[in-house]
Amino acid sequence: MAVDGVIYPRLLDGSGCCPPEDIGGPWGYQEAREALADPGHERHDEIIEWWGADNLDLDTVDIPAIDAELTRLARRWNRKPRAKA
């Protein structure tokens, strides 16, 4: 049920990050996660280089950033139509 004064859409909860583009679907994402978790994995260094060292926390969701983006989009989508001249 919609509540007056609340901007929609809203993020209620989240878990984990979505796979990056061109990872190879669910199977490629799982392999990348395994490679990142195991420094001895043959693709570990390759995945870190491709993905970036600052994107390695795959289980944390930046809820404030997502919520801010949703709020920005919702405000744009919910604009009132222009008055006719």
pLDDT tens series, the chain, 85 aa = 778 877 777 788 888 777 778 888 889 989 988 998 899 999 999 988 888 776 667 778 888 888 888 888 887 876 666 677 6
For residues 29 and 2, give the distance between their C-alpha atoms in angstroms, rounded to a whole number.
36
- Tell whether pTM > 0.85: no
For residues 17 and 81, give the distance between their C-alpha atoms in angstroms, rounded to a whole number.
36
For residues 63 and 32, give the distance between their C-alpha atoms in angstroms, rounded to a whole number.
23
For the chain, domain boundaries: 25-77
pLDDT score at 85: 65
For residues 58 and 43, give the distance between their C-alpha atoms in angstroms, rounded to a whole number.
17
pLDDT score at 79: 64
Report residue 75 as tokens.
């405000």
